[in-house]
Structure 1
């Protein structure tokens, strides 16, 4: 049963860079696609700053980082990327420390959990299944679930509604996530260890956490607007 002390009935999460460190497998798929186009490999740390807008955008940034880029190159490389990534989606991707315990604690409080990601829905579902999380989340909204994607707030609203609605907060790692939460007028907690293109302090999050054992206390301190 949910306690009256906890301020949220739904907590939504970004996926890549927030719940799961997917950089190694994304890097392998990106470099496989780049290699098929005669481009050099990119190091994983660089890829961490490119993730957050979907696979096609990641490939575009990879091409731009290694030479010229046009839509025809993206069209050629995209299926190569997707095929490789689908086959190796969780070879080395792992939840961040403390994620399982934090999700367990939220579940024990009666909180519904949701995912709102710019990853394609089919890939998000595949990753969740590979991690054994099939029954963890009440809703999963991907980057192609709706006609729009983050930072448009519509996918976040949809994820919250599909999880049952009510007071909600969003947990992410990038400016895309904090912009989404701001557009939705929802509080946002940003992790400091995820994928981003600027210092965590510049994301404009309601609160920052360095480890998932800080999540519940941080949520307890937040206001909870109604959805």
Structure 2
């Protein structure tokens, strides 16, 4: 007799589901995002920002990132921000994977978790369509049971709301779960959904990693599996 229920993870999997943020967690997207910000800035005669200046602006979605970039170069009204946001998104979509790469050790960690039977997911504040395009360009889409973007759950329901995390749990079939991210949005969303959280010290930090309040911190992906195992215990 066959069953329609999802396969159970092996006993080796520390959690049934492991969710990940995208920018600054799985992928170093800073070069391509900085280029998109600078394209928008240049279109109105603003000076460019360095990648190091843009990194702390990443994590709350493209509009928030651009608003901070405009604030850093002289300010901006909402109408102008609307126009420049579209220019940024168009440029970014056209150059979405020019410079972006997975962080060292990401693929090995994902392979290990998948072999253990864990279901993997992406929950990002990037627009879902852009997240899917980026993961597709890097041939990563098939590794994830679901991909949830900042617009997937409707306006006002991106991280730090727990709603995208709850959606991740539902789409992955339920079970124990942990969430991995690099921003206060990630950690607050995970905590609000009552999940153990892991912060990446190498990500696009808006503040010192210790101030995020995560249950654990990793300095590289070689530490992810042991950290998940410790949290599961």
Bucket of the pairwise TM-score, normalised by the shorter protein = over 0.9
Question: 1:34 and 1:153 mapped to 2: Cα distance?
Answer: 33
Contact 1:172 1:190 in 2 (8 A): yes
RMSD of aligned residue pairs (Cα, Å): 1.1
Q: Which residue number in structure 1 is paired with residue 116 of structure 2?
A: 109
Question: 1:30 and 1:6 mapped to 2: Cα distance?
Answer: 40
How far 1:7 moved relative to its partner?
3.0
Question: 1:77 and 1:132 mapped to 2: Cα distance?
Answer: 30
Question: 2:13 and 2:34 mapped to 1: Cα distance?
Answer: 38
How far 1:201 moved relative to its partner?
1.1
| Unmatched segments (≥5 aa) in structure 2 | 1-7
Contact 2:13 2:113 in 1 (8 A): no
Secondary structure, in 3 states, of the residue corresponding to 1:42? Answer: coil
Are residues 1:161 and 2:174 paired? no
Structure 1 stretches of 4+ with a deviation exceeding 6 A read: none
Secondary structure, in 3 states, of the residue corresponding to 1:190? Answer: strand
Deviations 1:54-96 (A, max 9, x none): 1111111110010022101111211110111000000000000
* Alignment match of 2:140 (pick from 133, 143, 146): 133
Secondary structure, in 3 states, of the residue corresponding to 2:57? Answer: coil
Question: 1:219 and 1:189 mapped to 2: Cα distance?
Answer: 8
Q: Which residue number in structure 2 is paired with residue 208 of structure 1?
A: 217
Number of residues of Structure 1 aligned to a counterpart in Structure 2? 224
Q: Which residue number in structure 1 is paired with residue 100 of structure 2?
A: 93
Contact 1:114 1:160 in 2 (8 A): no
* Alignment match of 2:81 (pick from 68, 74, 87): 74
TM-score of the two chains, using structure 1 as the length reference: 0.96
Contact 1:112 1:164 in 2 (8 A): no
Contact 1:2 1:108 in 2 (8 A): no
Question: 1:90 and 1:167 mapped to 2: Cα distance?
Answer: 33
Question: 2:232 and 2:106 mapped to 1: Cα distance?
Answer: 23
How far 1:177 moved relative to its partner?
0.8
How far 1:134 moved relative to its partner?
2.1
Q: Which residue number in structure 1 is paired with residue 5 of structure 2?
A: none
Secondary structure, in 3 states, of the residue corresponding to 1:160? Answer: helix
Secondary structure, in 3 states, of the residue corresponding to 2:10? Answer: coil
Are residues 1:24 and 2:46 paired? no
How far 1:5 moved relative to its partner?
4.3
